[in-house]
Structure 1
Amino acid sequence: MDIALIGIGKIAVDQHVPAIAASPDWDLAATVSRQGSVDGVDSYTDFARMLAERPEIRVVSLCLPPVPRFDYAAAALAAGRHVMLEKPPGASLSECHRLIDMARAQGVCLYATWHSREAAMVAPAKAWLADKTLKKLTVTWKEDVRRWHPGQDWIWEPGGLGVFDPGINALSIVTEILPDPIHLTEARLEVPENKQGPIAASLRFAHPAGADVSAVFDWRQDGDQIWTIVAETDGGTLALHDGGARMVIGGQDQTAEGPALTGEYPRLYANMARLVSTGDSDVDLSPLRHVADAFLLGRRQSVAPFYD
């Protein structure tokens, strides 16, 4: 199938373009971007023009920042195109619910992607935890914002999520692997004096069986990057490391089948191909709901200014 990629920035170049190129399901037929392009692919700067001139392109993948994404998604759905959303699926829950309603009314597919759920050991971790009683779960997600988001000012603005841009990846894994739903009870958000978005956050959650569930996100990490989830259960301890690429149970490393992290985006595009073929949508908003709750319940603490 032909697909159009909208927003040719870092994530599109690093992940989406290679995943589409390697896929047996997709042909990258057009791009839309004010600045970026892909060699050998028709490029547009006007999304409405692309929709009007290329009716054969049935699927649109949106890699824009969250705030402008809604207008593009709404236009694509109104034009009868299937839509794939980079995470987070929107700048607000209300936007996302509106897109769900539009997709249903138009009879097209909407896919809110969570790439970290496609890391190699996330599904095995979910299977292992399915029959266990959780006692404690701790998330530690610490990375260097300068390394992963150089010069991307939008991430600090309202709707950009701040440290929850990577933190929502952790929440997408937690909400996937836990057999029971959790909800946020308290949060502390550390906000640089010169920014709108938090640079660090500490979260606590309520678990239906009383397990101790907490998370720490920080964008000021030097040296090794830390993306770890540790679950203590009545059947032992499971740890996911490297963003879900590696799993350790009882001190023993578990072997992943296939690529650990590089397979995330290829699996997302394979999922989208299946959704289009079946006419289904997949829009799980639970990770974004936790982020919204953190902004509602979080105590703000002003910290030192941050400069990229």
Structure 2
Amino acid sequence: MSAIRLALVGLGKIARDQHLPAIAATPGIELVAVASRSATLDGVAHFATLADLLASGEAIDAVALCTPPQGRRELAGMALSAGKHVLLEKPPGATVSELGPLVAAAQERGRTLFATWHSRFAPAVEPARAFLSEVPPRAVRVTWKEDVRVWHPGQRWIWEPGGLGVFDPAINALSILTAILPRPVFITSAGLDFPSNCAAPIAATLALADAGGLPVRAELDFLQTGPQSWDIVVETDRGTLTLAQGGAVLSLDGQVLSALPETEYRNIYKHFVELVAAGRSDVDLAPLQLVADAFLLGRRTLVAPFHE
């Protein structure tokens, strides 16, 4: 099978920091074009928009959408209609319901649609899942706190409707949670702090449970300074299991069980190549559904305005 000819749509911070090096390091896929209104890449064909790219006749097989989530549905539909495979950055869209027609379109056209959850590909996530498949969890505590000014500088879209606010990073925690726990969880209550000048929350507290009553508590914050907190702590009969550093390190009662270099995005593109070869799609909406449910049930509190 020849290498997948990929176009990257959107060339912002996440594309430059993660997608470009991952694509370059992944056998079976090559970057041949970029669509961006504000940035170019030396040696790669450039177009202002995806529509311009598709109209140009440039030979591509797939697109990776790294734009803000509010516009991904239209772009994904356009690419699928043109017979291209589609990789979606997380979150896969601005709403849950908009993804169903895209799944159907991919199936109808025999194309691959991959809704990526990069944190699920962190090295310690699978060992954590394997452990909890044998040792039932008794309680779970999630602490996901980071500095929006460091990770999303000047990205106003994150505070607009569909931008998710603090849930843009926190959905990573929910993607891990839904991967490692043996039973599905659901939101039972939520508290959402909205800056008075923003349409998305800057902090949140979630209570979740599974059908057996497993208590899950999540503390989410977008104003953490200093060391960042990306941790999931699970109490079990065999000890305290801690998945730290966003899924990079797994320990049991302080003893490290797994700690490997971060290869999340390389593994995403490796999986994408495998999906295309197998003619399959991979679209799990559970993390996005939990966010939607938090907005449905969340008690909203206005807090101080946010300024960069």
Distance 1:49 1:223 in 2: 43
Letter aligned with residue 302 of structure 1: L
1:296 matched to 2:296? yes
Structure 2 residue matching 1:255: 3-state secondary structure: strand
- 1:256 lines up with 2:263 in the alignment: no
Among 72, 90, 93, the residue aligned to 1:90: 93
Distance 1:54 1:236, change over 3 A: farther
Deviation at 1:51, TM superposition (A): 1.4
Which residues in structure 2 correspond to 1:196-207 (within 5 Å)?
196-207=199-210
Shift of 1:171: 0.2
- Give the alignment's Cα RMSD to 1 decimal: 1.0
1:167 aligned counterpart, secondary structure: helix
The equivalent residue for 2:267 is 267
Give the Cα–Cα distance (whole angstroms) in 1 for the partners of residues 236 and 211 of structure 2.
14
What's the CA shift for 1:132? 1.6
DSSP 3-state at the match of 2:206: strand
- Structure 2 stretches of 5 or more lacking a match? none
Match of 2:60 in 1: 57
Query: Which portions of structure 1, spanning 4 or more consecutive aligned residues, are displaced by more than 6 angstroms?
Result: none
Q: How many residues end up aligned between the 2 structures?
A: 305
Q: Distance in 2 between matches of 1:188 and 1:101?
A: 35
Quote the offset at 1:56 in angstroms: 2.9
SS of 2:246's equivalent in the other structure is helix
* Deviations, residues 228-258 of structure 1 (Å, cap 9, x unaligned): 000011222100110001111122012334x
Q: CA deviation at 1:50?
A: 1.1
Cross-structure match for 2:22: 19
Distance in 1 between the 2:50 and 2:248 partners? 36
Matched, 1:159 2:187: no
Shift of 1:303: 0.5
Query: How far has the Cα of 1:46 moved from its partner?
Result: 2.7
- Whether the 8 Å contact between 1:133 and 1:235 is mirrored in structure 2 is no
Query: Which residue number corresponds to residue 144 of structure 1?
Result: 147
Q: Tell me if structure 1 keeps the 8 A contact 2:147–2:228.
A: yes
Report the 3-state secondary structure (helix = DSSP H, G, I; strand = E; otherwise coil) of the residue aligned with 1:292: helix
How many angstroms does 1:61 deviate by? 0.5
Task: Return the alpha-carbon distance in structure 1 between the equivalents of residues 259 and 225 of structure 2.
Answer: 28
Match status 1:135 vs 2:104: no
Structure 1 position 207, deviation (Å): 1.6
Percent of matched pairs sharing the same residue: 54
Q: What amino acid sits opposite 1:292 in the alignment?
A: A
Aligned AA for 1:150?
Answer: P
Q: TM-score, structure 2 length as denominator? A: 0.97
Question: 1:103 aligned to 98, 102, 106, which one?
Answer: 106
| Residues 214-233 of structure 1: CA deviation (Å, up to 9, x unaligned) | 11100111111000000011
Matched residue of 1:93: which SS? coil
TM-score w.r.t. length of structure 1: 0.97
> Structure 2: how far apart are the matches of 1:46 and 1:287?
29
2:102, 2:157 → 1: CA distance? 22
SS at match of 1:39: coil
Structure 1: tracts of 5 or more residues without a match: none
